[in-house]
Amino acid sequence: MSAAYLAAAIVLEICGTTSLKLSDGFTRIGPSGAVILCYAASFALLSVALRGIELSIAYAVWSGVGTAVVAAIGITWFGETAGALKLLCLVLIVLGVAGLHLSERIS
């Protein structure tokens, strides 16, 4: 069940970060409210997930997956550049998170 809480926390973190961009420096009320609600709910769910997942693994997965997905959203939705170095670094983040997740199973 902890994995489901972590997955929901990741989705909310992604929504919160995307809303942060849409808030235009907290000048738009709807997206600004979404930032606060999404991050609060994300942290709450992350804290519940930590009951069954080690902190190092949960935080790495939460931040790494969130970073990679938000970067993909930036590239596809907001027209950000997608150079080779940026894409390589995103792949390395995903590989690092996968490696940490694997280390939990091996230990």
User: pLDDT in tens for each of the 107 residues of the chain?
Assistant: 999 999 999 999 999 999 999 999 999 999 999 999 999 999 999 999 999 999 989 999 999 999 999 999 999 999 999 999 999 999 999 898 888 878 777 76
Query: Where are any strands of DSSP class E within 1-107?
Result: none
Helix, strand, or coil here: 24?
Answer: coil
**For residue 62, which amino acid is it?**
W
- DSSP 8-class letter at 53: S
Reported pTM: 0.90
Distance from the Cα of residue 54 to its chain's centroid = 17
CB 65 within 8 A of CB 96: no
Determine the pLDDT at residue 107.
Answer: 64
Neighbours of 32 (CB within 10 A): 17
